[in-house]
């Protein structure tokens, strides 16, 4: 399976998903006009990845800001990862947030409460 790499800009984040290591990293900002267009291939990639996931999968979100449409897409990603976790795979989410960004921390805690995946909150 090929890795997924998307180079970001002011409207979309960097995505670096490795099928080999199980590191799924999203960094930057996510403000696309059409979130489905951006994240549709990501959801398809995860669907394929779920067939033979790495021994450990870590979804690492290091977002400065994201819009509502991106939030829905992130939750879709988290739900797919939750399905992988439910069948016994080792899955973890690392939710990075700035020390003073309570909204970002609250968003991570909200997602955590909706799934069974262990969350690690990392402030910077």
Question: For residue 30, what pLDDT is reported?
Answer: 97
User: What pLDDT does 52 receive?
Assistant: 95
Tokens coding 34: 């059409």
DSSP category for residue 33: S
- Partnered with residue 111 across adjacent β-strands are none
Q: What is the pLDDT of residue 21?
A: 97
pTM score: 0.94
User: Which CATH number is 4-123 given?
Assistant: 3.30.750.24
How many residues make up the chain in this entry?
124
pLDDT in tens, the chain (124 residues): 999 999 999 999 999 999 999 999 999 999 999 999 999 999 999 999 999 999 999 999 999 999 999 999 999 999 999 999 999 999 999 999 999 999 999 999 999 999 999 999 999 9
């Amino acid at each position: 399976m090929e890795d997924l790499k998307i180079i970001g800009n002011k409207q979309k984040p960097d995505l670096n998903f490795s099928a080999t290591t199980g590191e799924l990293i999203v960094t930057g900002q996510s403000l696309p006009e059409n979130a489905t267009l951006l994240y549709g291939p990501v959801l398809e990639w995860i669907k394929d990845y779920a067939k033979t996931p790495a021994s450990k999968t870590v979804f690492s979100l290091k977002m400065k800001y994201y819009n509502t449409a991106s939030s829905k897409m992130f939750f879709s990603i988290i739900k797919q990862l939750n399905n992988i976790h439910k069948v016994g795979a080792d899955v973890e989410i690392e939710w990075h947030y700035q020390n003073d960004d309570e909204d970002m921390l609250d968003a991570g805690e909200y997602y955590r409460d909706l799934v069974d995946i262990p969350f690690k909150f990392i402030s910077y």
